[in-house]
């Protein structure tokens, strides 16, 4: 009898323990796969997904691919009736494309429900807006970007360089506030191997600037569009919803980019983001107007030689004539495939909450892997600002910011403008006006099949419902 | 007897069925589907666009497109560049490796290696060689005091860079076919030509080359079809750029199908491409038959 009682207690204890474990690990047995990018917003996370499994029971596998071609995989995944990936990495301009196709779960209600948990108030509003389509939150920021100015602070602060610059251009050498200054600085620092820079002979050629001019995956448009906006241009005609990138600011921006070519590396037509940022990371470019997604690397000696041989500086990007223009932002985000089951959806949302939490972001930053941030608390932290000088620029410049393009025809725009602008930069097309008109006409020939009401709806940036309360 | 014949025919059909089924599933059905697709407005990324029947509209758009015409011209230009050089080099190397010289057997085997490598790998190998900052070619040029060339990043060189990679891979094919043909040539005409006191060049030009002509036409014809479809190397090296300097027909089809997601347009462009290849094949076959008749 006594043995029976002991056995009964043991069984009851086992069941209770198992029950508790089940309660602690609500997603035991769930397997999630993420279609992601091989860049900072994911590479920091991938090695530690086991921690999420230990917490929730859900097993996560992250497949990482280069940016070129990633959107193609996501579109194929989204159009499949039996998708392989529950979690999708999304660059914010894709939101309209994927949103109009109904490919992503609307996260508005989930974010509202868990607002305290995810510290919704701590997220820079434009970073949430970046991820909305028609007011619905379709992705959650995992990394928040701005297009900022990165420069060789060690050269800019060198007294010899400062004196020589002032003698040549008549004003002080500092982070530029106008594009004319940016070009002057680019010209000033373009030097050959063996010449002096910062009082030391150069081991390699030094280029005054490093911009993306490649047509691959429309890389050139990722620089051209911010240039164009900083010149006061916009994408669409607000009356017709058609492409309007043929005006004066658009032409000036394209011509300005072309005027920077003599100060860029000779292989400028092949400059993709990784190659472009590589010049800064090796200390072979004096400055680059570039996305903050890789800024963290510039201060990390394990990832960039510049951290050893010099010093990176950061500033908001110049504008045309120094006129105030909104900062050009972007978000690299995580989304949930619309075709997942309810259980997978909850598990995927739990993963998004965990992977974008302030705790994890702070941990990355403390460990030296601070991803480009979207959380105010982290960007405003004085210790972290000291460690990552670009955090202050990110925080300050987003007080006046405007989101990137978010149109359902984004990929058509990116590819068409990518090719036409690349041809202009290569000298195949005579004028910027001709290149831009060709690109706009190609995009409009497709858009014109839709009624004007639809076109206007597509360009209307409806405020995020999640921010409405 | 009749029963046996019927039975044999049934077994024959039975054995053929798997092959026919595979052929149907992998070739005929996709082709019929592509044909159906080419008459539709089918955008994979935009399900909100009605996938309706549009008749010949896709074909009309392609044939009136300047981009398509440019891609066709670039394809023909690349074909002319690669085929002419492959022919000269292939025949030259074949003449060399068929000489009774030491090491020719090993040389022949080594020369065949590029042909056996997947075109994507060939593209990657050449990418390492061409890469602007870190590539071996520019490094070697710098060793002899020459400045680097933007092999795949300038419109002047990009098409040549593609052509060089293709020539490197496929010259052995011409060499192999020509060498086999050289071995099979009858010795009598040579003996007669030598007795007549002809020079080696005359013998090559008047005896060897005419005999090789049908084989060379066949080899060129096979290479022309391949060159017309070239895709992998371009995708790896330039993706059609810089500008549109290496945008060939296959890249045009790829962009329409998998960048703009206009599957109907992509399918229509594929059929236009197929029609052009068919014209080429017919032309080559006619030329081959004319030569055979002349020889007979």
SS (H, E, C) A192-256: CCCCEECCEECCCCEECCCCCCCCHHHHHHHHHHHHHHHCCCCCECCCCCCECCCCHHHHHHHHH
What CATH number should be reported for the domain holding residue B203? 1.10.3720.10
Per-residue pLDDT, averaged over A385-398, amounts to 93
Q: Find the range with the poorest average confidence among A79-83, A86-90, A427-431.
A: A79-83
Q: Are residues A91 and A239 in the same domain?
A: no
A413 domain residue, yes or no? no
Per-residue pLDDT, averaged over A280-291, amounts to 96
pTM here? 0.90
The answer to whether B133 contacts A267, with C-beta atoms less than 8 Å apart, is yes
B175 domain residue, yes or no? yes
Per-residue pLDDT, averaged over A116-121, amounts to 96
Mutate to test the interface with B, among A81, A267, A430, A448 (most CBs of B within 10 A): A267
Distance between CA atoms of residues B2 and B265, nearest Å: 53
Per-residue pLDDT, averaged over A70-88, amounts to 92
Nearest to B240 by CA among A216, A221, A415, A416: A216
Which residues of chain B are modeled with pLDDT < 70? 1, 291-292, 294-296
Phi and psi torsions of A89, nearest 5°: -85, 130
Number of domains composing chain B: 1
Number of domains composing chain A: 2
Q: Are residues A297 and A394 in the same domain?
A: no
Strand partners, A64: A36
A454: pLDDT strictly greater than 70:
yes
**A-chain residues within 8 Å CB-CB of B241?**
214-216, 269-270, 419, 422
Sequence-separated (6 or more) residues with CB below 8 Å from residue A154: A198, A310, A311
pLDDT at position B4: 83
Per-residue pLDDT, averaged over A308-326, amounts to 93
The rounded percent of chain A whose pLDDT value lies above 90 is 84
The H or E element spanning position A169 is helix A159-169
A9 domain residue, yes or no? no
**B-chain residues within 8 Å CB-CB of A428?**
155, 243-245
A22: pLDDT strictly greater than 90:
no
Q: Are residues A307 and A381 in the same domain?
A: no
Q: Tell the residue number behind the tokens 């949430």, with chain if given.
A: A128
A15: pLDDT strictly greater than 60:
no
B13 domain residue, yes or no? no
Classify residue A69 by burial, with Cβ atoms within 10 Å: 0-12, 13-18, 19+.
middle
The H or E element spanning position B272 is helix B263-295
Q: Are residues A286 and A361 in the same domain?
A: no
How many angstroms separate the CA of residue A445 from the nearest CA in chain B? Answer: 11
A428 domain residue, yes or no? no
Per-residue DSSP letters for B37-57? HTTB--BTT-TTS---B-TTH
B4 domain residue, yes or no? no
B15 domain residue, yes or no? no
Q: Are residues A195 and A307 in the same domain?
A: yes
pLDDT digits (tens, 9 = 90+) for B12-34: 989 999 999 999 999 999 999 99
- Maximal CA-CA distance, chain B: 83
**A-chain residues within 8 Å CB-CB of B60?**
none
Which residues form the domain of B267? 65-295
A166: pLDDT strictly greater than 60:
yes
pLDDT at position A272: 86
Q: Are residues A310 and A341 in the same domain?
A: no
A468 domain residue, yes or no? no
How many angstroms separate the CA of residue A119 from the nearest CA in chain B? Answer: 34
Q: Which two tokens stand for residue B280?
A: 């080429």
Residue where a domain terminates, one of A291, A310, A328? A328
pLDDT digits (tens, 9 = 90+) for A324-341: 899 999 999 999 999 999
Taking a contact as any Cβ pair under 8 Å apart, which residues of chain B between 155 and 194 contact chain A?
155
pLDDT at position A4: 56
pLDDT at position A17: 47
What is the value of ipTM here, to two decimals? 0.86
Q: Are residues A160 and A139 in the same domain?
A: no
pLDDT at position B292: 67
Q: Are residues A160 and A249 in the same domain?
A: yes
A10: pLDDT strictly greater than 80:
no
Taking a contact as any Cβ pair under 8 Å apart, which residues of chain B between 202 and 231 contact chain A?
none
Calculate helix-pair angle for A248-259, A410-426, nearest 10 degrees: 50
Q: Are residues A206 and A107 in the same domain?
A: no
The answer to whether B260 contacts A101, with C-beta atoms less than 8 Å apart, is no
Candidate ranges A19-28, A247-256, A369-378, A386-395; pick with highest mean pLDDT: A247-256
The answer to whether B153 contacts A419, with C-beta atoms less than 8 Å apart, is no
B36 domain residue, yes or no? no
A43 domain residue, yes or no? yes
pLDDT at position A430: 96
Per-residue pLDDT, averaged over A396-418, amounts to 95
Residue where a domain terminates, one of A371, A402, A433? A402
Residue where a domain terminates, one of A266, A296, A328? A328
A424 domain residue, yes or no? no
Which residues form the domain of A29? 20-144+331-402
A359: pLDDT strictly greater than 70:
yes
Sequence-separated (6 or more) residues with CB below 8 Å from residue B63: B272
Q: Per-residue confidence at A469, pLDDT binned at 50, 70, 90?
A: low
Residue B259, chain A, CB below 8 Å: the answer is yes
A165 domain residue, yes or no? yes
Q: Are residues A109 and A47 in the same domain?
A: yes
Q: Are residues A315 and A368 in the same domain?
A: no
Distance between CA atoms of residues B259 and B154, nearest Å: 23
SS3 B257: helix
- Nearest CB to B44; choose among A79, A278, A449: A79
pLDDT digits (tens, 9 = 90+) for A209-246: 999 999 998 999 999 999 999 999 999 999 999 999 99
Q: Are residues A201 and A322 in the same domain?
A: yes
Residue B71, chain A, CB below 8 Å: the answer is no
- Nearest CB to B46; choose among A76, A101, A275: A101
B243 domain residue, yes or no? yes
A1: pLDDT strictly greater than 50:
no
A415 domain residue, yes or no? no
Per-residue DSSP letters for A34-85? EEEESSHHHHTTGGGHHHHHHHHS-EEEEEEE-STTHHHHHHHHHH-SS-S-
- Nearest CB to B241; choose among A72, A216, A408: A216
What CATH number should be reported for the domain holding residue A180? 3.40.190.10
């Amino acid at each position: 009898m006594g043995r029976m009682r002991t056995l009964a207690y043991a069984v009851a204890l086992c069941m209770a323990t198992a029950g508790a474990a089940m309660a602690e690990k609500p997603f035991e047995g769930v397997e999630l796969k993420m279609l992601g990018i091989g860049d900072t917003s994911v590479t920091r996370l991938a090695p530690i997904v086991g921690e999420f499994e230990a917490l929730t029971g859900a097993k996560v596998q992250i497949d990482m691919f280069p940016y070129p071609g990633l959107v193609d995989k996501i579109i194929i995944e989204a159009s499949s009736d039996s998708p392989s990936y529950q979690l999708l990495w999304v660059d914010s301009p894709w939101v309209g494309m994927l949103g109009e196709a109904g490919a992503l779960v609307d996260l508005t209600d989930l974010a509202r429900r868990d607002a305290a948990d995810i510290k919704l108030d701590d997220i820079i509003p434009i970073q949430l807006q970046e991820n909305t389509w028609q007011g619905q939150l379709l992705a959650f920021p995992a990394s928040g970007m701005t297009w900022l100015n990165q420069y060789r602070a060690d050269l800019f602060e060198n007294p010899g360089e400062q004196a020589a610059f002032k003698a040549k251009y008549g004003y002080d050498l500092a982070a530029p506030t106008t594009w004319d200054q940016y070009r002057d600085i680019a010209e000033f620092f373009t030097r050959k191997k063996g010449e002096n820079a910062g009082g030391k002979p150069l081991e390699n050629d030094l280029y005054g600037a490093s911009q993306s001019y490649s047509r691959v995956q429309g890389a050139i448009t990722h620089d051209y569009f911010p240039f164009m906006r900083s010149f006061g241009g916009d994408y669409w005609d607000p009356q017709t919803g058609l492409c309007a990138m043929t005006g004066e600011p658009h032409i000036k921006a394209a011509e300005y980019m072309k005027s920077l070519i003599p100060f860029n590396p000779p292989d400028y037509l092949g400059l993709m983001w990784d190659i472009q940022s590589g010049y800064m990371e090796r200390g072979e470019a004096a400055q680059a107007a570039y996305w903050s997604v890789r800024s963290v690397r510039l201060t990390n000696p394990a990832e960039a030689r510049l951290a050893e041989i010099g010093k990176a500086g950061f500033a908001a990007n110049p504008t045309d004539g120094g006129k105030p223009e909104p900062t050009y932002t972007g978000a690299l985000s995580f989304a949930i495939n619309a075709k997942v089951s309810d259980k997978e959806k909850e598990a995927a949302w739990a993963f998004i909450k965990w992977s974008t939490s302030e705790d994890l972001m702070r941990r990355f930053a403390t460990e030296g892997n601070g991803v480009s941030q979207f959380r105010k608390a982290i960007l405003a932290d004085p210790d972290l600002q000291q460690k990552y000088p670009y955090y202050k620029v990110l925080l300050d410049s987003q007080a006046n910011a405007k989101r990137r393009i978010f149109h359902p025809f984004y990929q058509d725009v990116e590819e068409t403008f990518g090719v036409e602008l690349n041809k202009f930069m290569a000298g195949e097309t005579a004028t910027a006006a001709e290149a831009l008109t060709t690109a706009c006409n190609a995009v409009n020939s497709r858009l014109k099949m839709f009624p004007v009401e639809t076109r206007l709806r597509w360009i209307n940036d409806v405020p995020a419902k999640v921010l409405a309360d | 007897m009749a029963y046996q014949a019927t039975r044999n025919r049934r077994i024959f059909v039975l054995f053929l069925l798997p092959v026919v089924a595979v052929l149907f599933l992998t070739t005929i059905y996709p082709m019929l589907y592509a044909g159906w697709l080419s008459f539709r407005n089918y955008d994979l990324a935009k399900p909100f666009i009605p996938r309706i029947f549009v008749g010949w509209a896709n074909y009309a758009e392609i044939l009136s497109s300047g981009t398509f015409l440019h891609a066709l011209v670039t394809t023909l230009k690349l074909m002319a560049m690669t085929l002419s050089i492959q022919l000269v080099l292939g025949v030259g190397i074949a003449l060399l490796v068929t000489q009774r010289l030491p090491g020719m057997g090993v040389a022949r085997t080594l020369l065949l290696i590029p042909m056996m490598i997947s075109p994507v790998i060939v593209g990657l190998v050449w990418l390492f060689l061409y890469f602007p900052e870190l590539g071996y070619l520019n490094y070697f040029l710098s060793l002899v005091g020459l400045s680097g060339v933007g092999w795949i990043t300038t419109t002047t060189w990009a098409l040549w860079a593609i052509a060089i990679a293709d020539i490197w891979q496929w010259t052995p094919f011409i060499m192999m076919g020509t060498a086999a043909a050289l071995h099979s040539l009858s010795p009598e005409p040579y003996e007669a030509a030598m007795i007549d006191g002809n020079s080696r060049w005359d013998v090559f030009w008047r005896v060897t080359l005419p005999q090789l002509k049908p084989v060379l036409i066949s080899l060129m014809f096979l290479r022309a079809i391949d060159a017309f479809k070239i895709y992998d190397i371009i995708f790896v090296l330039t993706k059609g750029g810089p500008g549109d300097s290496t945008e060939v027909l296959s890249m045009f089809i790829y962009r329409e199908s998998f960048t703009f997601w206009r599957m109907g347009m992509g399918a229509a462009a594929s059929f236009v491409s197929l029609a052009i290849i068919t014209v080429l094949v017919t032309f080559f076959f006619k030329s081959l038959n004319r030569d055979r008749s002349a020889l007979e």
